[in-house]
Amino acid sequence: MKFQIPFRTVDSNVKKILDDFGARVVKLSKINIGRTTTEKNWKGKNVRRRIDFSGKLRNSLDYGLDVTKNAFGFYIEMEDYGIDVDQGKKAGGMKPSIPKLINWIEKKPAKLRDSKGQFIEMTLKRKKSFAEHIAYIHARYGTQPTNFLSDPFEQEFKLLPEKITEAFSLDIDTFLETSLSELNKPNK
């Protein structure tokens, strides 16, 4: 999934600044994804959780620059569900896919307990029931935003205008020097 920010006037210094910006945002986002957080669950109890258990979202994070003659765009790539993880989902939304949740339960691996607190065997029927319960909770209560990408993006974006201005002025100086030296060459 891509979201783009258009930029005008491309040259080496501006491109380097934006390249550094993208690398920094991705690095900080990956750090945020790996953190274990404590938050309140739908019952109001404190629970510890890691944002990206499997590492799939973290590994999918990347950035890029689309450079053309007059402009270029900056984009961040990640798994489609990354936006929902970053921004959360409101209550009353669509339920997550049951087969995907069953797959997640198998990878986690989640363990269920009976009323006595003893671990019980995870049969396919129990996995499906557990996945349906998770889907119900997500649809009814939504999910909290993690801001694993939004926070680093905003933090780094605040620093960008000053750096871009400096880089742009260096690029203009280089352009003027090159242009003037070309004009001052004797015609052959």
Contacts of 19 (CB under 8 A, 6+ apart): 65
Distance in angstroms (rounded) separating the CA atoms of residues 116 and 38: 27
Encode pLDDT of 86-113 as tens digits. 998 888 877 788 998 998 888 877 788 8
Where along the chain do its domains lie?
Answer: 1-88+145-169, 89-142
Q: What is the architecture of the domain spanning 1-88+145-169?
A: 2-Layer Sandwich (3.30)
The reported pTM is 0.70
181: which residues sit within 8 A by CB, 6+ positions away? Answer: none
* Collapsed DSSP state (helix, strand, coil) of residue 175: helix
17 vs 40: CA distance, rounded Å: 39
Low-confidence ranges of the chain (pLDDT < 70): 1-11, 42, 67-72, 168, 171-173, 175-188
Q: Considering the chain, what is the average pLDDT of its residues? A: 81
